[in-house]
Structure 1
Amino acid sequence: MGILLSSDKKMSLFTLWYTVLLFLVFCSRIVFGQMTYSIPEEMQKGSTIGNIAQDLGLDLKRLKAGRARIYAGDNTEYIELNRDNGRLLVKESIDRESLCAKITPCALHLQMILENPMELYSVTVEIKDVNDNAPNFQKSEIRFEISESAAVGARFVLGRAVDPDVGVNSLRSYSLKPTENFALDEQSDVEKIVEMVLQQPLDREKEDRLNLLLTAFDGGEPRLSGTMNIYVKVLDVNDNAPVFAQKVYKATVTENAPKGTKLTTVSATDADEGSNSHVTYHISDALDSSVIDIFDVDSQSGDVTINGKIDYEISNHYQIHVQARDQGGLSDSCKVIVDVLDVNDHQPAIDIISMSSSISENSKPNTVVAMIKVNDPDSGANGQVHCTISDNIPFAVSTPSNNFFSLRTEQELDREREDEYNITVMCSDEGVPSLSSSVSLRLQISDVNDNAPVFERSRYEAFVVENNTPGPSIFTVKARDADSNQNARVSYILEDSTVNGVRVSSYVTVSADSGVINAVRSFDYEQLKDFHFRVIAQDGGSPPLSSNVTVTITIQDQNDNAPQVLYPVQTGGSMVAEIVPRSADVGYLVTKVVAVDVDSGQNAWLSYKLQKATDRALFEVGPQNGEIRTVRQVTDKDAVKQKLTVVVEDNGQPCRSAVVNINVAVADSFPEVLSEFTDFTHGKEYNDNLTFYLVLALAAVSFLFITCVVVIISVKIYRWRQSRVFYQSNLPVIPYYPPGYTDTGVTGTLPHLYNYDVCMTTNSRKSDCKYSTLGGQSVLMVDPSFSETMQREMRDKGLLEDPVSPELQKPPNNDWRMPPNQRPGPSGAGPRPEEAGAGAVGGTGPWPNPPHRSRTAPGSDGCSECK
């Protein structure tokens, strides 16, 4: 709000402004200067007041960078700032009379505010008066009834004219015409009420009515004037006017006093007798309408009372002119002076003139985040304001300077502890009782990268079913960063390591954005039961911060067999349908779905449910036994042709299922069924083609079957004959050639081949069994149970020369050396490698080596090498 200065306070207030200016410049460094401009009122919109940037020595770039703006309180609509050229412009035409009334000098007190850093400049714009208002009387005419016996020198109150202009443009003089009987009282103060003085006695018989014209002039250029007509009616006899007991009455009242409060009583007497001595009291019509609206005087008793609302902040001093009139038109006047006492009835008005919406968490203490102006229109202690905020926040309010407060940081900030503050500023005055108001400020704390990512767990463990499909995610690691935005953006990196000599990146990958771990290959539980690796979480700050966590992957078996429906058998073109008579009752057994699952345990637990049906309200399926029964009584309205779809699910994870379609005929006779199910048959030409292909396929399969049977029988006979010949030779050693398999794993390793040496003599009836050394351990390369029996028989017959220390033969090359868990053996025939002791042979699967041929040099007692 602009500050209006009266002439008698100009020097003291100038001293106060100068003191405040010096305090702000040398202490808070917010106010840097003060400018004063003078303009006439009624300037057109857009007119230039002055170049404040040039006058203050500011660069135009500083105005733009500091987001310069004008703060003028309630006078914001009058002045605006052009940041591009630094000029102060008239935003709206200024009427000095509306703005300041009679107060001089009239000025607008503004503040120009700059940010980054914050600066405050005081600007005073003085509004010069222009003679744009003519003197004006409250009434266009006034009537008097004057007795002819009125004595020369009698006074008649005419009121006064009002001119809103000030100085030379204000009211200067009055003129009364004609002047034969009356003349104006020459008053040096034109602001006083004008009185008309009788100069010559009136003669009603000569002239009973007089018409006068009162003109008021101002001193402006051009000179303006206003008029009021005066009509005088001459009466008889009444030659005494009322006289007040005192010319000035004084009263004191507090603001907001209730209506009807009595201020004082005025009293006037008239020396006449009878009706001519009766006096009535009236408030002068020449006063401002605001005074007439606020006060009232009783016409008979003279009591002056309050008739409206008194506000100390609007006016603290009133002058009431009261007239006393008798019935002859004679009157007298007095003045009632009313002083208004202030009451604390206004809360402090808080205005945020500048505020930062966010502040960095590493900001130093005493950083200014907001500037606030608080105004309390009350006076004295009622207008003294102090502001406070909550004690549990790291902010403080500075000591006021010209009702300006600054909100500053008091401690170091931590966004992770508190990322936003809702600061409530409470401002209270010192009145009794004290009044207060508050405003809430929302301040965001911007982030600094001072926290490393933290995983949700100290270590992770995931389970993967074997034979998984490479690619899909198997697990997700999650790390959180207490920072925000880019500083909290976490990237995941797979730490370089090996698993069984292979880079871990060939087993799994991790998504840099989401932390999703994907399997690169299909895992085999028999080859790899678990492995672990590290994942690094790194944020996007500068410099980046990181942490790591260990992830363990455990391989599990899977449910890889779906249920198989045994009944009903699904045939594409069959017309077979289950028949339900229309007389069937509730619970009638239509059919039963029979299914099996080759899995075991809970993976083989089957459940049945009805997926689709022509009429769901007619049938239901037993969830455990697969029996299809009717739910309600079959009616004639039910369709003959009903199609059911039953889903059979096992209890494995993931669940596997099979679907069977069942045709149900609701009928009492077979012909009715045929007429409704003709659409299930195929055309004749389709049946002919199908029959031809079926016959051709049957012939081909029969030929292949007969051929295979002949070949198998021939091989069996040949082997039987060979075994008979060998058996008749009384040799105790029967070689065993395990089948060979190719390693079909997707790990990319080559097939492993194993060689076995079986050496025997042809004439000495002595056999020599050789052993192969694998990985530093002695392993008999024949069936263990068969070897023990063979050795025992050979010892009994004396065929072994040294049964205690059999000869050991080394493998032909280093390729024979392999870990114990990769040695051949039947699936499930031996313990796991980690459970077996040193030198034990543990089977992990079928024999992976193809059979080999044994080559023996004929006619020699030694053995040839078998490859």
Structure 2
Amino acid sequence: MGTHRQRCGKWLLFWTFTWQLFIFVIMISTVGGQIRYSIPEEMKRGSLIGNVAQDLGLDLNRLRTGRARIVTGESDQYTELKADKGLLVVNERIDREELCGDVSPCSFSFEIILENPIELHRVNLEILDVNDHSPTFKNHVVRLEISESATIGSHFDLETAYDPDAGVNALQRYVLSPNDNFALKQQSNADGIKFAVMILQKPLDREENPHLSLRLIAVDGGTPQRSGTVNIEINVLDVNDNPPVFSQSLYTATVTENAPVGTYISSVNASDADGGSNGVITYSFSNIKGKSAEKFAIDGSSGKITVADMIDFEKDRKYEIRVIAKDQGGLSDAAKVVIEVADINDNAPVINIMSFTGLISEDVPLGTTIAVFNVKDADHERNGQIACSIDSNPPFKIQSSLTNYYNLLSDLAFDRETTGEYNITITATDSGSPQLSTKQTLHIRISDVNDNAPFFTQPSYSAYVIENNAPRVSIFTVSARDPDWNQNARVSYFLDDAQISGSPISSFVSINSESGVIYAVHSFDYEHIKQLVFSVKAQDGGSPPLSSNVTVKVLIQDQNDNPPQVLYPVQTGGSVVAEMVPPSADVGYLVTKVVAVDVDSGQNAWLSYKLHKATDRALFEVGLQNGEIRTVRQVSDKDAVKQRLTVIVEDNGQPSRSATVVVNVAVADSFPEVLSGLTDFAQDKEYNDNLTFYLVLALAVVSFLFITCLVVIISVKIYRWRQSRVLYHSNLPVIPYYPPRYSDTLGTGTLPHVYNYEVCRTTDSRKSDCKFGRAASQNVLIMDPSSTGTMQRIQSEKSILDEPDSPLEVRLRLYHILNETSMSASLSPYTSLM
């Protein structure tokens, strides 16, 4: 007992020292962007793991601006990064046994990513075990049947306790309750599993003590210590002195993962020299830790081991099972079965996008990181070797950074105008047989840069506009396109500074900056300007803006807006010019030539000459094209001395315009005769001037009288309307009545005005007289005799109106008749006497 206590004391000191070292020492290693922390399991949420910023040598501002965050492919996030403080803390409860099972040491890793620029740092976190589990036995009671003939030194295998903790916190030893017959011996397997064997020290005497009750205590090495207990109930049997013996102490077998339930794995075999019931052997599993008991099954009579549940290589790669062979007398033997799981390629690679920029500028430099992604495969060795590629031949490439981490980089220059977006399919393929692959598609849009200047649809523009156009009329439209996008493609149009004939181009034309429509500022005159040549600039809305120019030529087209102008003979107001033709002139004699010009151009300036009037049309003719006046026949003494020709000059426009010229010709041989003819021409001209004056005067008088009558008629109509409205607004009934002869006055019902004038013209006089009648105010007013009967009828009806006993209806009718009649009497026609 003293030795046992000393051992316990040493173990207690050892585990106390180890636990204190675990609490105060955390190993941190940062090598090449990697750091390592060690923390105990079951830490509270928010507990500090380490100062990431200090351990990585990063500034806190870098963590904030780089949007530092944790990226991992695991579904559970056990840690949290507080980027504002640079601390790594526990995010949720960590159970080492649940996370790693029996794997020791237990650790997992994750990455911390920063952007702008992208950085990756790996963190390895080791989870240290805490003594939070007590050793447990599968059964509460172990029942043994031991023959009393068992020899001293016989071994009896006991049930193994299971403690999920690791290291010193795991199962360390067994303690058997004090007794006289049995001693406890502790042994360990190659994998470190401890089990207890009970050794017979003193022969059993069934007659003295047929039943023994013992307690087996399993103790771990944690602080404080934890323990588990199982009761051992021993029945003493008679005469079974040969225990079963396995043919070999270690059995090995291999099973493929995902093998169907019932698949045969291996068989164990044991023999017993006893006969009868004492030689019958039963096989069973001593103990399978964790969930292994659910994975396999053993036939108790044959020892065949088969698959009982789905096996996954990624969870457990090897199983160690202890098989017990027991005879009917309670004697047993044990053997170990090691089952290795063979991996198959049953897991496709998994692609996790850690960082991705979906919008990039078309002018980004080569080698720009577009995305960072992680690829994992749960399979082992060759089945877990992954190769990444991208389909087609896009301007991207994949570059490996850390283990299982890849960067998607730009490999060529981008041109948004050619390709505005890309669908990049990343394919991750393992090396298994058959190969498994996973695809992930990234959609990348290219943002625009103002790298294209606007260009016009034509190298130059020509347009035509007819002179005398309306101001602000649209001439034509220039159009430019820009292959850029949005604001960079918004084209505005401007007129370049230029001058035409000393005036800025803006005084001739204007342009709509949005549509490119060119307008005429004012009306053009072909006779002053025949064409406009200027430049239009198209400028986009980028920063800085880009522009291009195009030459625009506007041709002014002539319109027939100018009549011909006669240059000869000159038409003056004071003197008369006459051409002299000798009486002996022959046929075709050139009298004179009418010379005219037209400032228009083209066919609008083609002139033709025609003889309109002539004193003797059979004597002269006018050349259609040249305007020459020639004699048609021989001049004779019978021809009048003075000849007056009217020539019309017409252009060829549509519609045509014309001018008239009067040519005076004197048939004489001497100059005095010519002067006499000129006097006559002057008198004719004076006569024509007087006649024109009188005609204009007569037209003015007639217009004045017409307007006066129109005003009088309108006044009468207004007066009648007002009288009828006064009667209408009274409460008396209105019965319209019209005199029978009112509308027959002078037979028409109108007010005619007669103007008499006399025109006197004599054959010998070159002057006519016009005599106009006197004004209407001087005429004698005479009443029409036909109105006498009307006046008598009015007097009689008025006497009826004055009678007090007349019915109201009759009186109203007569009142209306009197008003109408008095008005018509005031408008009786007048008669003008000369």
Query: TM-score, normalising length from structure 1?
Result: 0.59
Q: Following the alignment from structure 1 to structure 2, what is the Cα–Cα distance between the partners of residues 146 and 320?
A: 25
After superposition, the Cα gap between the structure-2 partners of 1:787 and 1:40, relative to the gap in structure 1 and judged at 3 Å, is same
Shift of residue 191, structure 1, vs aligned partner: 2.3
The aligned residue for residue 187 of structure 2 is: 187
Q: For the Cα contact (< 8 Å) 2:594–2:628, is it kept in 1?
A: no
The aligned residue for residue 403 of structure 1 is: 404
AA at the equivalent of 2:57: G
Shift of residue 530, structure 1, vs aligned partner: 11
Shift of residue 77, structure 1, vs aligned partner: 0.7
1:628-679 CA distance string (max 9 Å, x none): xxxxxxxxxxxxxxxxxxxxxxxxxxxxxxxxxxxxxxxxxxxxxxxxxxxx
The aligned residue for residue 488 of structure 1 is: 489
SS at match of 2:153: coil
Shift of residue 464, structure 1, vs aligned partner: 11
Q: 2:220 aligns with which of 218, 221, 226?
A: 218
Q: For the Cα contact (< 8 Å) 2:46–2:89, is it kept in 1?
A: yes
After superposition, the Cα gap between the structure-2 partners of 1:367 and 1:245, relative to the gap in structure 1 and judged at 3 Å, is same
Aligned residues: 605
The aligned residue for residue 57 of structure 1 is: 57
Shift of residue 239, structure 1, vs aligned partner: 3.8
The aligned residue for residue 115 of structure 1 is: 115
AA at the equivalent of 1:219: G
The aligned residue for residue 69 of structure 2 is: 69
SS at match of 2:339: strand
AA at the equivalent of 2:52: I
After superposition, the Cα gap between the structure-2 partners of 1:762 and 1:123, relative to the gap in structure 1 and judged at 3 Å, is closer
Q: For the Cα contact (< 8 Å) 2:173–2:220, is it kept in 1?
A: yes
Please list, as runs of the form range in 1=range in 2, the aligned pairs for 1:124-273 lying within 5 A after superposition: 124-187=124-187, 191-273=193-275
Q: For the Cα contact (< 8 Å) 2:257–2:342, is it kept in 1?
A: yes
The aligned residue for residue 354 of structure 1 is: 355
SS at match of 1:221: coil
Q: For the Cα contact (< 8 Å) 2:246–2:335, is it kept in 1?
A: yes
Stretch moving more, 220-229 or 134-143 = 134-143
AA at the equivalent of 2:385: Q
After superposition, the Cα gap between the structure-2 partners of 1:754 and 1:762, relative to the gap in structure 1 and judged at 3 Å, is closer
1:757-778 CA distance string (max 9 Å, x none): 355878999999997766599x
Q: For the Cα contact (< 8 Å) 2:50–2:88, is it kept in 1?
A: yes
After superposition, the Cα gap between the structure-2 partners of 1:457 and 1:208, relative to the gap in structure 1 and judged at 3 Å, is farther
After superposition, the Cα gap between the structure-2 partners of 1:493 and 1:244, relative to the gap in structure 1 and judged at 3 Å, is same
The aligned residue for residue 95 of structure 2 is: 95
SS at match of 1:483: coil
1:811-837 CA distance string (max 9 Å, x none): xxxxxxxxxxxxxx99xx8533xxxxx
Q: Following the alignment from structure 1 to structure 2, what is the Cα–Cα distance between the partners of residues 135 and 525?
A: 115
Please list, as runs of the form range in 1=range in 2, the aligned pairs for 1:764-803 lying within 5 A after superposition: 775=599, 784-786=609-611, 789=614
Q: Following the alignment from structure 2 to structure 1, what is the Cα–Cα distance between the partners of residues 281 and 465?
A: 114
Q: Following the alignment from structure 1 to structure 2, what is the Cα–Cα distance between the partners of residues 200 and 462?
A: 130
Q: For the Cα contact (< 8 Å) 1:760–1:766, is it kept in 2?
A: no
Shift of residue 784, structure 1, vs aligned partner: 5.0
Matched, 1:831 2:623: no
AA at the equivalent of 2:37: Y
AA at the equivalent of 2:121: Y
**Rg larger in 1 or in 2?**
2
The aligned residue for residue 724 of structure 1 is: none
Q: Following the alignment from structure 1 to structure 2, what is the Cα–Cα distance between the partners of residues 200 and 316?
A: 44
Q: For the Cα contact (< 8 Å) 2:651–2:657, is it kept in 1?
A: no
1:757-814 CA distance string (max 9 Å, x none): 355878999999997766599x99x995346757967869xxxxx9769xxxxxxxxx
1:372-408 CA distance string (max 9 Å, x none): 3222233333222222223522222225642222222
Q: For the Cα contact (< 8 Å) 1:209–1:232, is it kept in 2?
A: yes
SS at match of 2:174: strand
SS at match of 1:62: helix
The aligned residue for residue 383 of structure 2 is: 382
AA at the equivalent of 1:100: C
The aligned residue for residue 321 of structure 1 is: 322
Q: For the Cα contact (< 8 Å) 1:470–1:519, is it kept in 2?
A: yes
1:90-142 CA distance string (max 9 Å, x none): 11122222222333333332322222222222222332222222222223333
Shift of residue 552, structure 1, vs aligned partner: 8.6
AA at the equivalent of 1:255: E
After superposition, the Cα gap between the structure-2 partners of 1:136 and 1:525, relative to the gap in structure 1 and judged at 3 Å, is farther
AA at the equivalent of 1:490: V
AA at the equivalent of 1:433: P
Shift of residue 205, structure 1, vs aligned partner: 4.2
Q: Following the alignment from structure 1 to structure 2, what is the Cα–Cα distance between the partners of residues 59 and 485?
A: 40
AA at the equivalent of 1:299: G
After superposition, the Cα gap between the structure-2 partners of 1:483 and 1:764, relative to the gap in structure 1 and judged at 3 Å, is closer
Stretches of structure 2 that go unaligned for 5 or more consecutive residues are 1-27, 582-591, 622-626, 631-647, 661-677, 690-834
SS at match of 1:185: strand
AA at the equivalent of 1:831: N
Q: Following the alignment from structure 1 to structure 2, what is the Cα–Cα distance between the partners of residues 248 and 175?
A: 27
SS at match of 1:168: helix
Matched, 1:300 2:114: no
1:15-45 CA distance string (max 9 Å, x none): xx99xx98xxxxxxxxx53322232222221
1:74-94 CA distance string (max 9 Å, x none): 176111211211111211122
After superposition, the Cα gap between the structure-2 partners of 1:44 and 1:476, relative to the gap in structure 1 and judged at 3 Å, is farther
Q: Following the alignment from structure 2 to structure 1, what is the Cα–Cα distance between the partners of residues 138 and 525?
A: 109
Stretches of structure 1 that go unaligned for 5 or more consecutive residues are 1-16, 23-31, 557-742, 744-749, 797-801, 806-824, 833-841, 849-857
AA at the equivalent of 1:73: G
Q: For the Cα contact (< 8 Å) 2:313–2:341, is it kept in 1?
A: yes
Q: Following the alignment from structure 1 to structure 2, what is the Cα–Cα distance between the partners of residues 253 and 335?
A: 16
Shift of residue 475, structure 1, vs aligned partner: 7.0
SS at match of 1:186: strand
Q: Following the alignment from structure 2 to structure 1, what is the Cα–Cα distance between the partners of residues 544 and 38?
A: 58
1:510-538 CA distance string (max 9 Å, x none): 44345466787799999999999764321
Please list, as runs of the form range in 1=range in 2, the aligned pairs for 1:461-472 lying within 5 A after superposition: none
Query: TM-score, normalising length from structure 2?
Result: 0.62
Q: Following the alignment from structure 1 to structure 2, what is the Cα–Cα distance between the partners of residues 218 and 399?
A: 47
Shift of residue 248, structure 1, vs aligned partner: 0.9
SS at match of 1:211: strand
Matched, 1:426 2:427: yes
Q: Following the alignment from structure 1 to structure 2, what is the Cα–Cα distance between the partners of residues 763 and 107?
A: 130
After superposition, the Cα gap between the structure-2 partners of 1:154 and 1:391, relative to the gap in structure 1 and judged at 3 Å, is same
Q: Following the alignment from structure 1 to structure 2, what is the Cα–Cα distance between the partners of residues 415 and 790?
A: 87
Matched, 1:440 2:451: no
1:351-373 CA distance string (max 9 Å, x none): 22223323333333333322232
Shift of residue 478, structure 1, vs aligned partner: 4.6
Q: For the Cα contact (< 8 Å) 1:759–1:770, is it kept in 2?
A: no
AA at the equivalent of 1:222: P
Shift of residue 160, structure 1, vs aligned partner: 1.8
SS at match of 1:344: coil
Q: For the Cα contact (< 8 Å) 2:527–2:600, is it kept in 1?
A: no
Q: For the Cα contact (< 8 Å) 1:759–1:862, is it kept in 2?
A: no
SS at match of 2:186: coil
The aligned residue for residue 451 of structure 2 is: 450
The aligned residue for residue 725 of structure 1 is: none
Q: Following the alignment from structure 2 to structure 1, what is the Cα–Cα distance between the partners of residues 563 and 213?
A: 139
SS at match of 2:278: helix
Q: For the Cα contact (< 8 Å) 2:565–2:598, is it kept in 1?
A: no
SS at match of 2:492: strand
Q: Following the alignment from structure 1 to structure 2, what is the Cα–Cα distance between the partners of residues 761 and 252?
A: 142
Q: Following the alignment from structure 1 to structure 2, what is the Cα–Cα distance between the partners of residues 180 and 525?
A: 141
SS at match of 2:63: helix
AA at the equivalent of 1:266: V
After superposition, the Cα gap between the structure-2 partners of 1:763 and 1:95, relative to the gap in structure 1 and judged at 3 Å, is closer
The aligned residue for residue 818 of structure 1 is: none
Q: Following the alignment from structure 1 to structure 2, what is the Cα–Cα distance between the partners of residues 205 and 254?
A: 54
Q: For the Cα contact (< 8 Å) 2:563–2:658, is it kept in 1?
A: no
AA at the equivalent of 1:53: A
Q: Following the alignment from structure 1 to structure 2, what is the Cα–Cα distance between the partners of residues 268 and 358?
A: 72
Q: For the Cα contact (< 8 Å) 1:830–1:843, is it kept in 2?
A: no
Please list, as runs of the form range in 1=range in 2, the aligned pairs for 1:690-769 lying within 5 A after superposition: 757=571
